[in-house]
Amino acid sequence: MVGPIYIIALALGLAFFLGFFGKSLKTFSGFVMLAGLAGMTFISGQWLMAFVDGSATTQEIFTAGFKPPFSINLRMGIEEATFTFMINVIGLLGGIYLFNRLKEVGNSAMSVFIVLIMSLNVIVMTRDIFNLFVFVEIGSIATAGMIILDKTSKSLQAGLKYLLATGVISGLLLIGIIFAYYFAGSLNIDGIIAANLMASKAGAVAVFLIIAVLVLELKPFPANGWGLDVYESSNPGFGAIVSAGTATAGLFVLYKVLPMGGDAWYQYISIIGLITFVGSNLVGTQQKIANRLLGYSSIGQIGLVMTVIGLQPILGDAFAFIAFALLLNHFLAKAGLFWISGIIKKENITDWSALRKNSALLIMFVIFIFALIGFPPFPSFFGKYELIMSLISSDNIWVAVVILIGSFAEGIYMFRWLGHVLKNENSEEEVLDIPWNKFIPIVLVTVSLLAAGFYSVPFVAGANYFYFVPLAFILFLGLIDFLPAYIKNTVSIAGMGYYSWLLYPLVEGDLMRTIFFAIFMFGGILTLVVGYNKSGKREGFYPVALMMYAGLATIVTTDNMFGFFFGWELMTAGSYFLIIRGKRSKPHAYSYMLFSVAGAYLILLGFGLAHASGQTQALIALKDISVLPTLAYTLLAVGFMTKTASLGLHIWLPGAHGEAESDVSPMVSAVLLKAGVFGLMLLFLYMGEQTGDTLLFILGWVGAFTALVGNLAASFQEDAKRMLAYSSIGQLGYILFAIAMMTQLGWLAGFTYVINHFLFKAILFMVVGGIVVKAGTHNLYQMGGLIKKMPLSFLAVLIAMITMAGLPPLSGFAGKWLFYNAVILKGWYIQGVIVFFAGTIAFLYAFKLLHSIFLGQLKDNHRNLKEISPSILIPVYILIAGIFYFSAFPQDVLEPIGNMLANYFPSTLEWAADGNAVTILSNWNGNAVMIIIISMFVLVLGYLWLITGKTQKLEQFNIVYSAERPFRPETTHVSHNMFAGLNKAIGFLVAPGITNFWNNVSKMVLDFAGVVRRLYSGNGQVYAIHIIIYIVVFYLISIG
């Protein structure tokens, strides 16, 4: 095994050797540099492998042949090996990336580069504090040199500010070191730790100086203006090295030196880390310049790792995994992002849409963004989950909350950036040239990020490899993305079919999960079938759709909290990409994502509290939460309600569902919303009646008002898909109200609504989606009379509408009947009336939809429309068959559900012999009602047919007005502002109060960030003053 000392010898030897060539032989010296970097990577890699397979033990390397206190020693343990390996890898990849740039500048720049990487290695390995100072100085001079790789006036200023700041810092470090030596008598870190300097006040100040300087090297929040300028102005290739390499070395040094200060320091470091993480992310929300934004984000992430280092005594043995997972994730993702920004070379994030030209680069960009926020299959997801779990179980909940707020703030600007990339329009002419040496590092980093995610499974309780099976299939779909759409469609349907067949045994026993499993899987397949009518390739649609369905499947089949959260985040990621495909859906997808991420974090906190009380990852732990139960249940409830868009959390739904693509809307609204409902049902089952009764009462009222406002808003909509979206809000308000009653009848009504809503909403969105595409407009007042052209879709919408309105013959009435009995038995009378009134309003807009699309006068530009494509009609008519079966034989569906619910709630519904559902209040025989109505219908039809005989169809007469066309023609269309009367009477209920509320909240946050941003005035001297203030304040807090 090559000794680690050769890293230094090799690097310095080559650096001096490069001096020989002066200005000539540029390419050759470039390759010499790469060889050197590769050698260093090999050495540290070889040590890492040795440690991983246990064949090596921690080694102390003595220089100059003497024992440590008298000479400098380097240590090569498993930690050092991993960190040096990471640094050398980033050095090698950075060298490859910057190859051309370094060649242009000359081979002295190459030697500076290789020396910089060597200095980071030694910083990690050395155990001597003065040696650490020397190599930190080498690092800072080399960085100052590297900043001016692209000679712009900005990079010059950044360089000077950097030198000023590091100069002041290193001076103070010197004082700290010399006095530490004076008190401890030795320069070796272990010697100083042994001397326990904290005992005396002066010793404490010396240690304070050392640690404060090391913290300042990591650019803590208020005093990091100089750091941000470096990120913004330097060449992004070098920015990657600073953000990944130097930060990793700096964090390890802090970890190494912290024991010097005793455990009080751990607390200070975690507080500083938290302030940095939240502060820089918050200020980042206002940022428009790409590199500076990456600077804010990397400082934030470093702050997070610093917090974790500070929390070491609390986290115990989980510390190593969490710190490494978060650091590795930041390391890989940030390097990748900087490299991509090096290729894109655009300053402002709004014109990054050129990234869409190269789909491979785009996918990698997305992977980095999602890795940073902490979405599944990435290490940060596992790290953050484990961090929150152990934090809450050691009951510092506030730290967990602040961390989540910080990463939510990061989500704000990262997703805005992603939105710009995916949706901003693209100038055609400029082409994106990607040289191979810039592309390969990014690919390597992405691959290792995914592999890191895979390998972090054994470290987290409750995680198992089974969750990665769907991801492998999604990867496979991603690879075959070049095929035409219909092949991919068949493949994905087959895949989903097999996967659901595979998972079925998992849910077989539990009827509730089987129903939801059926809705997710069967509904998913149906909505995918609709995709057959789409031509072309539909890049990126199928992997993402499968990801959503995989997430849904995992939620239903898993039995532990980790699996549930894994599936939840997977589903959110998948659905985000589905929604953002719509033409005008950028703002809506953005608000959807923010609400979902916030909701997911609330759920995580809730799970944390459950884990804290039950100490297990199983979902059963939700049953009896002893740690702050009411808080836990409220958090979980609100978290799930962000997904069911209840009142107050609903503003994302109309835009997200309204603007989505025609076959995405049914997926997202009919199938996805049920995930939130499933979550709520689980929660209420585990919570039980007595613990949550006030919460349930409130949720009942929330459900009632959501139903009312949702349906009312739907009836005043002019846009067809928006109307359906608002109606989904209303229907989910029903479901929430029903299950909040916690009685068998209530839950039966809830289940009926879940099944009904799935059936008719899928039909409505599919058909309306098809029509909107055919008719070319969303607005109801531009449509009409399509019954003549599309009779089949008219019939489908008619049946769906009757089910939605709850009219007797069809299954909708079953829901209403159960609902009525439940309300009276439960005693929630007033809410019952509100929800019933909402039901009538539902009838109104259902009719408006039917009327304005199909009936009335056929518009002349729709004359030659033909029926919507069979690929939509087939699933629609399967669903209609489902509705008829459910309406004709309600007992076959409701009885098993009733029995299943019987073991949770007292049973109040029996099924009499002749299929008559009997409660103490009333009875209802769906089958009989159906038969009677159909027979009456046939009789009366026969009677009418008898007395009218043959009729001749009247051609459409064009109602022309005597006066000339009014200025706004749509006002004459009947469905324009159709329920004006109702609107004038109770329109005030639907005023956009809540949307304004959320807009004000976001404006307040952004203004605050704007004010704090003023801190960075750009003047180098001011930054130096910030550093001194920071030291004085830190001193007063810690020691003064």
| In contact, 34 and 92? CB cutoff 8 Å | yes
Name the DSSP letter for residue 668: I
Residue 535 beta carbon to other proteins: minimum distance, rounded to whole angstroms: 32
Nearest Cα to Cα of residue 257 among 207, 324, 198, 305: 207
Point out which residues pair with 923 in neighbouring strands: 918
Residue 476: CB minimum distance to other proteins, A: 45
| Cα–Cα distance for residue pair 400/406, rounded to 1 Å | 10
Give the nearest distance from C-beta 985 to other proteins in angstroms. Answer: 4
Element (H, E) at 76: strand 73-76
Tokens of 175: 């004082």
**Integer Cα distance of 95 and 37 in angstroms:** 8
Query: What does the alpha-carbon distance between residue 645 and residue 635 come to, in Å, rounded to a whole number?
Result: 15
Q: Which amino acid is at 704?
A: A
CB of 89 to other proteins, least distance (A): 22
Q: What angle do CA 15, 169, 205 make, to 5 degrees?
A: 130
Q: Closest Cα partner for 497 from 442, 553, 450, 551?
A: 553
CB of 293: closest distance to other proteins in angstroms? Answer: 11
Tell me, letter by letter, the H, E, C secondary structure of 365-413.
HHHHHHHHHCCCCCHHHHHHHHHHHHHHHCCCHHHHHHHHHHHHHHHHH
- Which residue type occupies 446? T
Residue number with CB closer to other proteins (88 or 233): 233
Nearer to other proteins, 80 or 569 (CB): 80
| Nearer to other proteins (CB atom), residue 158 or residue 308 | 158
Q: Which two tokens mark 969? A: 């023609």
Residue found under tokens 């240690």: 207
| Residue closer to other proteins, measured from CB, 139 or 654 | 139
Q: Where are the alpha helices (DSSP H) in 719-790?
A: 720-740, 744-775
Q: How far is the CB of 991 from other proteins (least distance, A)?
A: 17
- The pair of structure tokens assigned to 859 is 């518009």
Closer Cβ to other proteins, 611 or 816, answer by number: 816
Compute the least distance from the CB of residue 1037 to other proteins, in Å: 12
**Nearest-approach distance from CB 266 to other proteins, in angstroms:** 22
Taking the complex as a whole, the smallest distance from the CB of residue 122 to other proteins amounts, in Å, to 8
Least Å distance, CB 763 to other proteins, is 17
Q: Which CB, 568 or 854, lies closer to other proteins?
A: 854
The single-letter code of the amino acid at 348 is: N
For other proteins, the closer CB: 202 or 487: 202
In whole angstroms, the minimum distance from the beta carbon of 200 to other proteins comes to 7
HEC string of 197-245 equals HHHCHHHHHHHHHHHHHHHHHCCCCCCCHHHHHHHHHCCHHHHHHHHHH
Q: Which is nearer to other proteins, 62 or 486 (CB)?
A: 62
- Min dist CB 210 to other proteins, Å, is 12
Full DSSP string of 541-591: HHHHHHHHHHHHHHHHH--BHHHHHHHHHHHHHHHHHHHHTSTT-HHHHHH
Q: What's the one-letter identity of residue 811?
A: S
Give the dihedral of Cα atoms 504, 509, 510, 516; nearest 10 deg: 20
Residue pair 871/909 in contact by the 8 Å Cβ criterion = no
Residue 427 neighbours by CB distance under 10 Å:
9
Whose Cβ is closer to other proteins: residue 200's or residue 899's? 200
**Which of 164, 405 has the CB closer to other proteins?**
164
CB atoms within 10 A of CB 399: 21
In three-state secondary structure terms, 431 is coil
The tokens for 646 are 């209840």
Whole-number minimum distance, CB 295 to other proteins, in Å?
A: 10
Closest separation between CB of residue 929 and other proteins, Å?
A: 5
Pick the closer one to other proteins by CB: 940 or 991. Answer: 940
Shorter beta-carbon distance to other proteins: residue 128 or 659: 128
- Output Rg (C-alpha) for the chain, integer angstroms: 33
> 289 in helix, strand or coil?
strand
Exposed/middle/buried for 494, CB within 10 Å: 0-12, 13-18, 19+?
exposed
At closest approach, how far in Å is the CB of 257 from other proteins?
A: 18
Widest pairwise Cα distance in the chain: 118
Residue 976: C-alpha distances to residues 429, 725, 783, 973, 991 (Å): 43, 18, 11, 6, 19
Classified as helix, coil or strand, 73 is: strand
Residue among 590 and 828 whose Cβ is closer to other proteins = 828
Of 13 and 993, the one with the shorter C-beta distance to other proteins is 13
Residue 925 Cβ, how far from other proteins at the closest point, in Å?
A: 4
Tokens read off for 210: 């050392």
Nearer to other proteins, 599 or 809 (CB): 809
Least distance (Å) between residue 854 CB and other proteins: 8
Q: How many other CB atoms are there within 10 angstroms of residue 965's CB atom?
A: 9
| Side chain identity, residue 73 | N
918 CB burial (10 A radius; 0-12, 13-18, 19+):
middle
Whose Cβ is closer to other proteins: residue 433's or residue 955's? 955
CA–CA separation, 44 and 2 (whole Å): 9
904 vs 1035, beta carbon nearer other proteins: 1035
Cβ neighbour number for residue 104 with a 10 Å cutoff = 12
